[in-house]
Amino acid sequence: MPLDVVLDPAVDPALLPAMIVPARTALLIIDVQEDFVSPAGAAGRWGVDLGVFAAPIGRIQALIAAARAAGVTAVFVRVVTRAETDCDALKNLHARKGRPPAAVAICRAGSTGADYYRISPEAGDWEIEKPLYSSFVGTDLDERLRAAGIGTLVVVGFTSDCCVDCTVRDAFHRNYDVFVVADACAAYEESLHIGALDALSKNCAMLTETAAVLAAWKEGLLF
């Protein structure tokens, strides 16, 4: 997909505060983990260029701090896998692609690969452990959000084309208003990042940027 594709326009920053009111909004921070984005993790050991993640991680850190200050619920989501819960579909997919069985063994429970990278939850934050891609499948995220009266999600993290994409689609189908912070997400290939944002913005989410969200949450304290 060409990188000069025209995405749906981002939300007007002037209108954003009323859309992501802190008391009714959660910041979903997806898969900022050692195995995915740290040079010491699995992707780093495989020789993947992880430079694309540095700037988005810095923006995620700023968004977490702003969320806490504004009273937005910060939800730290991460993959934690176990041999006994590895799904057959994933194992079959890897096998049919010629990958070794060990390919599914990333972000294993109890390993450093499952740890957060450059971020960490604090008292009052939520933590969600998921077995695969979507933050809603195999978790109690939906129940917790509804119990807290949260109907709007601001989504950041990795990767745009996989776990962010799956989470956003599932959130939309569960009747949440979803905003993807485009510059606080990334993928291993720029074309995948752009393609994911393009598809999501056309079908089930609004795009925004870090600066607009930071400003909105300062104003959103007035609502």
Return mean pLDDT, the chain.
Answer: 92
- Bin 162: left if φ > 0, else alpha if -120 < ψ < 50, else beta: alpha
pLDDT digits (tens, 9 = 90+) for 141-175: 999 999 999 999 999 999 999 999 999 999 999 99
What the block records as the tokens of 36 is 């995915």
Residues 6 or more apart whose Cβ sits within 8 Å of residue 13? 208, 211, 212, 215, 216
All residues at 6 or more sequence positions from 121 whose CB lies less than 8 Å from its CB, including other chains: 74, 76, 127
Catalytically active residues are: 31, 130, 163
Question: Mean pLDDT over residues 177-197, rounded?
Answer: 97
Alpha carbons within 13 A on the beta-carbon side of 79 = 28
Average pLDDT over residues 81-88: 81
pTM, two decimals, is 0.92
CA distance 85 to 69: 37
Q: What is the DSSP string of 192-214?
A: HHHHHHHHHHHHT-EEE-HHHHH
Chain segment 8-48, per-residue pLDDT in tens: 888 999 999 999 999 999 999 999 999 999 999 999 988 88
pLDDT tens per residue across span 92-117: 776 787 877 666 568 898 999 999 99
Hey, what CATH class is 16-78+115-220 in?
alpha beta
Q: Three-state DSSP class for 119? A: coil
Cα–Cα distance for residue pair 139/53, rounded to 1 Å: 26
Phi, psi of 27 (to 5 degrees): -95, 115
Which amino acid is located at 135 in the chain?
Answer: S
Q: Sorting pLDDT into bands at 50, 70 and 90, what band is 2? A: very low
